Amino acid sequence: SQQGEEDPQALSIQEGENATMNCSYKTSINNLQWYRQNSGRGLVHLILIRSNEREKHSGRLRVTLDTSKKSSSLLITASRAADTASYFCATGDIQGAQKLVFGQGTRLTINP
């Protein structure tokens, strides 16, 4: 079953603005990952944050994790048209298989 809820489901902003997407989950996790998916394509891994980390940066991406609230956020700064895609959070479980459970995703549209 799906673990994560993502908010908002869809987001449309102007190029250059910042985009923030939120993700909530239900159970204990080992890590949380964010992925990007362009329409009809596979997933691209963006960033992984471990359960003992609170914030992580990668280029224009900033991810936060609040395990007490079971939530995470992805911030994309200075957005570009090429950032238009669907963004998914996925939680990695604490079991050996480390399978991922995906949220519903946020469809981000960057308007030029």
Number of residues located near other proteins, criterion CB under 8 A: 24
User: Binding residue for other proteins (CB under 8 A) from 18, 27, 28, 30?
Assistant: 30
Kindly provide the residue ranges of all beta strands, DSSP E only, lying in 1-112, ordered along the sequence.
5-7, 10-14, 19-24, 31-37, 43-50, 55-58, 61-66, 71-76, 85-92, 100-102, 106-111
Q: Which is nearer to other proteins, 10 or 78 (CB)?
A: 10
Backbone angles phi, psi at 85, to 5 degrees: 180, 180
88 touches other proteins by CB under 8 A: yes
Segment contacting other proteins by CB under 8 A, of 19-27, 43-51, 57-65, 74-82: 43-51
Number of residues that make up the chain: 112
Q: Which residues bind other proteins (CB under 8 A)?
A: 2, 30-31, 33, 35, 40-45, 48, 88, 92, 97-105, 107
